[in-house]
Structure formats: structure tokens, C-alpha cells
């Protein structure tokens, strides 16, 4: 018995002949070729609880969450859930850093469980709600070097003096002889407070104490070319700057470095002189001189910093000294403490350490010290990183680690206490972000701003080479670069990673 093969729809037959009117038109063939689809009778997804959807979507990668967000209002709301992104934030940015801690992998309780509960408590107090999606986006943009760029014009006319800039928590502080001291809100790109520095005042260095920022106050210290100091307090609620003190006695020919941790001010001159002041017990708005130091072997560049350690304040001076086969970096710490029965605070201890001789030709062009990181910019387009270890009785500096990545001369670099650094080239448009915490070698990301088609067409190498980048500063969200045009006009380039 032979079975007959069933004729398929594509087999030739009477209906497929040219005379068949039912299939002769292309429109009819297209209709039959379309796959049949019937929408579901019930919407099962929208009936699920939001907590269950969050649990399901927590297994998807970040790219998938972003791609399905525009599908519906429900998906947009659920994929923006803070606790959903909290887990991704922890796994990508917290866990890799935690693995650098010795013994972390061996501890069974080292990895905390990521709860979907929106409540977060620390020390028995309810913390502020965190937008974990925006926090993830911010660090993701930092890791990729992706940002928006904007230009904030400082001077419409050429500036013959020196412009100083510092960045702290969304604020940019600028100081120059022509415009004075100005506080800029980087989110609105508008000035919120300003004041004049005085007649013939030439600011040479700038320091900011941000300890009272949570209370709406910022303390600013400015060193001038005539050897004097000025201290201002910023009231962000009333948008005003109040002069706290201004020295009249000139201890040196010019202040080239300053650090401020209220009530202490550390100042340095260009001739190896160091001055330590306190604003407590001051008379007639004049700071009281606690200690002065002088060295004949210290060479430029130098860097000053101050930090609180328990009940004391540590004032640090980083400097360069010449050696037989090159140069070396040194750091001196001064422990400042108030003792019972003493009216004025005292320097109770001093520690000094030097790095091994570098053997590198040419002294550093710049120094930046944020304990425990000491960063030097070298003339061969590289950076040199040292790690400082301080105890109650001893200070040590590790051998230097060369950081490669820049293709042109480095104009300035800045580093935080958590090992995040930003460096900028003198010419061109090269800005690099370094993550140095817990790493033996340096890894950098080049900042690549998003440019519109018009900006990309007008952005040429010849134009960029005429611009000089002088200073760089950054906070958690933005990088600020002071740019000088060939005609002397200056502006702030704001690189926003939000």
C-alpha cells in the first residue's frame, strides 16, 4: 500500500496556474505570506505586583533594562526602581573594590545581601533616599569618559593676572585681580556670591575648607603676591561672602601655596618658608602665628594639605629636593593639638620622610598631595604616584609608580583621598581620569565629551592647539578646566558626567 504525499501550499496545482484569479495579484500573495498573530486575551504582566516585577527584572543586565524602559509606562516605572539599580550598583562598583580588601573573599559575611526594601538605616537614623539609577549612571559615565561639555566665560577682556579655581560639591570658586572672588553654581552656571579682593591685590593661591558645607558655609583662604593672607566665609543661604580676617604684616615676598582647615592655615612662600597660623584667639582680625619653618634645600614645586585625625589636625608639606642622581620627594607632617591648660594650640609632633631617589631627569612640574596619595607631574608626559603611610611615630613613602597615558605635556593634575585623579594636557583636548585606589598600576580613561554635529565639524586640532589648559578641578559629578585663549581671554570648561 502506497501512501500519497499531502500536497503542500507551495506545490503546483490548479490554484497556482496563471489562470487562477485568486492568487494572481501580488497583494493576495503578501497577505498569505504574513504570519498569523493574535494578541493575548489577558495582560498578565500588568497584573503582577511591582515587587515581583522588580525581582524578575533584577536578573536582567543593565542594557536590557534600559532598552525595555520605553515599552510602556509600567516598564518605565519599574525599570527606574531605586532598589533594582541598587543591586547593579553594588555588583559593578562596590564589589570589585571590596575584593581588593585582604581576606574579603574568605569571609562568608563579607558580601551583604541586597534588599529590595527602600529603607536604609545607619546608626539608628533614617538615611536620605538615594536615586540608585542616577548614581549608577553617574559612575557609568565616569568609567566610560562620557560627559556633556559647556563653556563658562570668565573674562570678556584679556586677563593679564593669574586666575585661580577650586571645585567643591557643585561649586566653583574663582579668584583673580580683576573680578575678585566669585562663587559659581555649576548646575545653573551662574554666580551666587562675589566680592572684591582689594586694591592692587594679586591672588597667588587658593584653599577651601568644606567641613561646614552641610550647614551652608564654605571657608576660603587666599594668598597674595605681597605676602598677605585673606580669609572669607561664604553663606550659601544668603549668597554672600564675609571677610573673616586679612593680614597686614608681610612675612615674605609672596604666598605661593596655602592649605586651610579651620581654624588653622598653612602658607608657603617661594623661598622655602612655611607659616602656620590659627584664627582662634586672633586680635583685630589678624591670625596668630604658631610656627614658622625655613629650609635651604627645598625646591619647587611644593604642595600643602591639612586633614583631621581624631582630636588633632595634621598639616602636611610635600616638596622636592635634589639628590646625587636626580631628585626625591619629601613630606613633613605637623601634628597640631590643643592641650588642657594651654591657651594656644601647639605642634606636638613632627614626622619627615623622603622617597627613594627617582633617577628621572628633570624635576616634577607639579605636586598634589591628598593623604595617602602623593602625585607628581613629570616633563615626559607621565605621572609619578607615591603612597604615604603615617603612624603616630613614623612616616614612610613608597617607591614611585609611573603612570602612562598622556600623549602631550601635562598642565595640571589633582587627586582625592580615595585615589581618584584627573589630569589635563597643556595643549589639545586630552583629559584623563585615573582610578588608583588599591591598584599597583595606573588605569586611565580619556574623557570624550558628547559633541553635536556642528561642534564636531568646527572642532579642529589647529584651533585646540591654540588654547592653553592651566588648571583642573573636579568633584563627584563634574570636571572643571581653566582654559586660556591665545588672546588672553579665560573661561571654564565644565565637563558634566550626570
What pLDDT, in 10s, does the model give residues 306-346? 999 988 999 999 999 988 888 999 999 999 998 877 788 88
As a whole number, mean pLDDT of residues 110-114 equals 44
pLDDT at 463: 42
For residues 429 and 425, the model is more confident at 425
Residue 285: which domain range? 157-413
Does residue 17 fall inside a structural domain? no
- Measured at the CA of 328, the angle between CA 323 and CA 329, to 5 degrees, comes to 145
Task: Give the CA-trace dihedral at 364, 365, 367, 368, to 10 degrees.
Answer: -130
Q: Calculate ∠ Cα 319-320-325, nearest 5°.
A: 155
102 pLDDT exceeds 90?
Answer: no
Q: What are the cell numbers at 423?
A: 589630569
pLDDT band at 442 (very low <50, low <70, confident <90, very high): low
Helices and strands: H and E segment counts in the chain = 9, 32
- Residue of 201 and 164 predicted with greater confidence: 164
Q: What is the pLDDT of residue 32?
A: 55
pLDDT of residue 19: 46
Predicted pLDDT at 38: 67
Which phi and psi (to 5°) does residue 460 adopt? -120, 160
Instruction: Examine residue 179 and state whether it is found in any structural domain, yes or no.
Output: yes
* Residue 286 belongs to some domain of the structure: yes
Task: Please tell me the predicted confidence (pLDDT) of residue 447.
Answer: 92
Find the CATH number of the domain harbouring 335. 2.130.10.10
Asked if the structure places residue 204 within a domain, the reply is: yes
The answer as to whether 385 is a domain residue is yes
Lowest mean per-residue pLDDT among 28-42, 134-148, 164-178: 28-42
Give the pLDDT mean for 174-192: 92
**Predicted pLDDT at 109:** 43
pLDDT of 9 over the 50 cut: no
The pairing of strands 146-153 and 448-449 is parallel
Give a yes or no: residue 302 inside a domain: yes
Least confident of 13-17, 73-77, 86-90, 385-389: 13-17
The C-alpha atoms of residue 478 and residue 166 are separated, in whole angstroms, by 12
Query: How many C-beta neighbours within 10 Å does residue 489 have?
Result: 15
| Neighbour order of strands in the sheet with 180-185 | 164-168, 171-176, 180-185, 190-195
The pLDDT tens digits of the residues spanning 445-487 come to 999 887 665 555 555 433 444 567 778 999 999 999 998 887 7
Q: Across all residues in the chain, what is the average pLDDT?
A: 82
| pLDDT in the model for residue 1 | 46
Residue 389: band (very low, low, confident or very high) from pLDDT cuts 50, 70, 90: very high
Q: Is the pLDDT of residue 124 over 80?
A: no
Confidence of residue 108 (pLDDT cuts 50, 70, 90): very low
Higher pLDDT, 446 or 41: 446
Predicted confidence (pLDDT) at residue 195 exceeds the cutoff of 60: yes
Residue 405 pLDDT level (bands cut at 50, 70, 90)? confident
More confident residue, 115 or 166: 166
44 preceded by a cis bond (ω within 30 of 0): no
Question: Is residue 337 a contact partner of residue 348, using CB atoms and an 8 Å limit?
Answer: yes
- 231's CB contacts (< 8 A; 6+ apart) are 219, 220, 221, 222, 243, 244, 245, 246, 260, 265, 279, 287
**pLDDT of amino acid 441:** 64
> pTM of the entire structure?
0.81
First to last CA, the chain: 77
**Cα atoms found within 13 Å of the Cα of residue 104, Cβ hemisphere only:** 11
pLDDT on residue 12: 46
Q: How far apart are CA 427 and CA 398, in angstroms?
A: 31
Section 85-111 average pLDDT? 74
Q: What is the dihedral of CA 239, 243, 244, 245, to 10 degrees?
A: 160
**Number of domains observed in the structure of the chain:** 1
Between 364-368, 395-399, 442-446, the lowest mean confidence (pLDDT) is in 442-446
345 belongs to a structural domain: yes
pLDDT for 275 equals 93
More confident residue, 206 or 40: 206
Percent of residues, the chain, with pLDDT higher than 70: 81
The rounded distance, in Å, linking the Cα atoms of 130 and 443 is 29
Grade residue 81 by pLDDT with cuts at 50, 70 and 90: confident
pLDDT in tens, 137-149: 999 999 999 999 9
Question: Which has more confidence, 497 or 440?
Answer: 497
pLDDT number for residue 284: 61
Which of 20-34, 254-268, 446-460, 481-495 reaches the highest mean pLDDT? 254-268
The residues near 299 (Cβ < 8 Å, ≥ 6 apart) are 319, 320, 321, 322, 327, 363
**Is pLDDT at 113 greater than 50 in this prediction?**
no
For the stretch 268-290, pLDDT in tens is: 987 888 999 998 866 666 888 89
Q: Which residues pair with 484 in a beta bridge?
A: 468, 490
**Residue 251 clears pLDDT 90, i.e. is over it:** no
Question: Does residue 447 belong to any structural domain of this protein?
Answer: no
C-alpha cell at position 54: 522588580
Amino acid at each position: 500500500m502506497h501512501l500519497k504525499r499531502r500536497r503542500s501550499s507551495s506545490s503546483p496545482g490548479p490554484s497556482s496556474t496563471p489562470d487562477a484569479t485568486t492568487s494572481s495579484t501580488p497583494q493576495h500573495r503578501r497577505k498569505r505570506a504574513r504570519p498569523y498573530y493574535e494578541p493575548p486575551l489577558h495582560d498578565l504582566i500588568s497584573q503582577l505586583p511591582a515587587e515581583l516585577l522588580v525581582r524578575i527584572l533584577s536578573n536582567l543586565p543593565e542594557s536590557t533594562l534600559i532598552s525595555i524602559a520605553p515599552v510602556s509606562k509600567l516598564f518605565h516605572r519599574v525599570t527606574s526602581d531605586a532598589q533594582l539599580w541598587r543591586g547593579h550598583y553594588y555588583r559593578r562598583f562596590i564589589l570589585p573594590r571590596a575584593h581588593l580588601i585582604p581576606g574579603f573573599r574568605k569571609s562568608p559575611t563579607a558580601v551583604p545581601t541586597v534588599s529590595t526594601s527602600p529603607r536604609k538605616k545607619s546608626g539608628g537614623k533614617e538615611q536620605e533616599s538615594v536615586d540608585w539609577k542616577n548614581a549608577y549612571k553617574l559612575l557609568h559615565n565616569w568609567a566610560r569618559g562620557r560627559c556633556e561639555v559647556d563653556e563658562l566665560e570668565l573674562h570678556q577682556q584679556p586677563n593679564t593676572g593669574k586666575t585661580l579655581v577650586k571645585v567643591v560639591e557643585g561649586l566653583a570658586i574663582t579668584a583673580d585681580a580683576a573680578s575678585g572672588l566669585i562663587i559659581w553654581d555649576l548646575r545653573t552656571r551662574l554666580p551666587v556670591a562675589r566680592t572684591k579682593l582689594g586694591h592692587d591685590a594679586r591672588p597667588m593661591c587658593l584653599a577651601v575648607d568644606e567641613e561646614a558645607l552641610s550647614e551652608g558655609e564654605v571657608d576660603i583662604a587666599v594668598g597674595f603676591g605681597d605676602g598677605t593672607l585673606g580669609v572669607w566665609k561664604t553663606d550659601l543661604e544668603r549668597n554672600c561672602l564675609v571677610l573673616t580676617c586679612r593680614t597686614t604684616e608681610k612675612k615674605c615676598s609672596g604666598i605661593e601655596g596655602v592649605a586651610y582647615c579651620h581654624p588653622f592655615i598653612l602658607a608657603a612662600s617661594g623661598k622655602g618658608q612655611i607659616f602656620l597660623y590659627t584664627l582662634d584667639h586672633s586680635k583685630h582680625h589678624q591670625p596668630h602665628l604658631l610656627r614658622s619653618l625655613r629650609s635651604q634645600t627645598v625646591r619647587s614645586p611644593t604642595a600643602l594639605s591639612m586633614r583631621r585625625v581624631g582630636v588633632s589636625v595634621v598639616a602636611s608639606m610635600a616638596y622636592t629636593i635634589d639628590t646625587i642622581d636626580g631628585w626625591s620627594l619629601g613630606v613633613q607632617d605637623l601634628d597640631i593639638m590643643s592641650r588642657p591648660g594651654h591657651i594656644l594650640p601647639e605642634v606636638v609632633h613632627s614626622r619627615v620622610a623622603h622617597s627613594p631617589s627617582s633617577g628621572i631627569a628633570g624635576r616634577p612640574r607639579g605636586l598634589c598631595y591628598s593623604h595617602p596619595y602623593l602625585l607628581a607631574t613629570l616633563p615626559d608626559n607621565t605621572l609619578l604616584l607615591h603612597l604615604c603611610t603615617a603612624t603616630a611615630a613614623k612616616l614612610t613613602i613608597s617607591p614611585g609608580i609611573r603612570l602612562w597615558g598622556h600623549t602631550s605635556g601635562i598642565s595640571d593634575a589633582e587627586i582625592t583621598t580615595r585615589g581618584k585623579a584627573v589630569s589635563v594636557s597643556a595643549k589639545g583636548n586630552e583629559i584623563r581620569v585615573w582610578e588608583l585606589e588599591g591598584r599597583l598600576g595606573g588605569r586611565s580613561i580619556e574623557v570624550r565629551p558628547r559633541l553635536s554635529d556642528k561642534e564636531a565639524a568646527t572642532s579642529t586640532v589647529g584651533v585646540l592647539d591654540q588654547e592653553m589648559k592651566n588648571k583642573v578641578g573636579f568633584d563627584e559629578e563634574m570636571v572643571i578646566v581653566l582654559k586660556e585663549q591665545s588672546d588672553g581671554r579665560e573661561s571654564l570648561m565644565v565637563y558634566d558626567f550626570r
